[in-house]
Structure 1
Amino acid sequence: MITPRRHFPLVTHPMTTAAQRQLWTLSYQRVVGSARSELRSHAGRRRLDVQAADGTKIEFQQSKDSVPNTHSKELSHATGLMWVFSAINQHFTTDLLITSRQGARANFTWTNPWRLIASCNARTMLDLGLSPQIGAHVLLEVDHFELGTGTAFGTAVLRDAQEFCHWMRDGHPLLPYAWTPRAA
């Protein structure tokens, strides 16, 4: 008998309060449980939001952090770090838009972008929430981010949020989003 995969409750819509933003991080931490979340490293000085099943260190950010702070975290974790930024509000206000896609590959533009995304050296994801453009809760795994004047352009791979959670918790392969066209 095949057991259905668990569905994880995540924040999928715009957040306006500090409590809602905190719940966004907590919902991802609850996926892996307390044994692999809020971990201290480097003699207790640095906090790590989540450690994935494969050892990847994941930092969740709800807002634009400073570039020096971002670089400091990247240096302290050395290797195996992943950033997940909540871009839900930016996507819902259409500041961040998917401009084209072919399967799981997507091009995007971001008006008034967070400049620190361009400075990230670690693997970077943008959580779009329940995307009105895609019709599902997806993350963009950014592989190119170019700052222009007031607008950024980039390319990314779409990832399903639930599949991302199963990867974090159990180490399942993190496959590209399985996009199928909606009927007209």
Structure 2
Amino acid sequence: MRISVQKLTLMAMFVAIGTLASHLLWIPAGAAKAFPVQHAINVIAGVILGPIPAVIIAFSIGLLRNLLGVGSLLAFPGGMIGAGLAGYFYKKRKSIFSAAIGEWIGTGIIGAIAAVPIASIFLGTKTGAFFFILPFLTSSFVGGFIGLLILRIILKNKAVVKLQSKSNETSV
């Protein structure tokens, strides 16, 4: 897979924003920590860059948050599944609202269910899926909505079109 220098730089910027924002804005949710900025980034990256780069960004943010001690292992299933579905839904429907729906389903429902065995094995928490669905869904809804607002501004100014046309010029 070839990634342009411009896309790689944008991916790094998303990772930096997501990692730094995790120090400022998070919501305690039992064994999990909810990060609405992560969900906004998932939607934006899924639309602008596609599903695979969005998953790489979500993984990188989750890894850095865990290494810095501000995240939990539950960042991986929620963030990565949500980012992947946001990009996939956008790719299929070409609608930013579809990307947000992908984030909400991916993180809020599927990611919450996937978090149950991870919480049980690695965190020693014996909670069920319903314990994670409400905080994951709330956080992903807020973040997805923020991502939608930001994307509307970006698309209104045609910044994404310029990025997508230039990203095919230079490859690494």
Q: Which has the larger radius of gyration?
A: 1
Greater strand share, 1 or 2? 1
Greater helix share, 1 or 2? 2
